[in-house]
Amino acid sequence: MKTSLTCIECPIGCQIEVEVENGKPVSITGYSCPRGKAYAESEVICPRRVVTSTVKATDGTLVPVKTERPVKKSDIFAVMQKINKATVTLPVKIGDIVVENISEDIHLIATGNA
């Protein structure tokens, strides 16, 4: 089976073709750098995304957050449920952990000061 992907690792957006057999990539073409090849492999085997959102602070304001690394696409719904239930105590600085281990030892971190 052949799959076409647009690489999302940089704004160039290379078109990548992946030949997949038994759920594994056997041929990858069209990428311009190693990041694109790694993205295509990951997208076929276990697609992942960084989740960005906001968490409610104790004063009612919203603190911008993101997962420190991409989480499995299949885990995004569970991650969003945890984010929606979370509350953060102020003050918060960029990079502070807002929710520990939100998925597979990946923390949710603040992306803004509050």
Helices (DSSP H) in the chain: which residue ranges?
34-45, 76-85
Q: Which of 24, 27, 29, 33 binds ligand SF4 (CB under 6 A)?
A: 33
Of 31-39, 66-74, 77-85, 96-104, which part binds ligand SF4 (CB under 6 A)?
A: 31-39
Question: Please, which residue, 32 or 101, has the CB nearer to ligand SF4?
Answer: 32
The encoded tokens of residue 3 equal 């799959």
Q: Does 13 bind ligand SF4 (CB under 6 A)?
A: yes
Q: Is 10 in the site for ligand SF4 (CB under 6 A)?
A: yes
The Cα–Cα gap between 88 and 61 comes to 10
Minimum CB distance to ligand SF4, residue 16 (Å): 7
* Shortest distance (Å) from residue 43 CB to ligand SF4: 11
Residue 9 lies near ligand SF4 (rule: CB under 6 A) = yes
Strands of the sheet containing 24-29, edge to edge, are 2-6, 15-21, 24-29
Task: Say how far apart CA 63 and CA 35 lie, in whole Å.
Answer: 30
Half-sphere exposure of 43 (CA within 13 A, CB side): 18
Place of tokens 């520990």: 100
Say whether residue 50 binds ligand SF4 (CB under 6 A): no
Member of 27, 29, 35, 85 binding ligand SF4 (CB under 6 A)? 35
Single-letter amino acid, residue 106: I
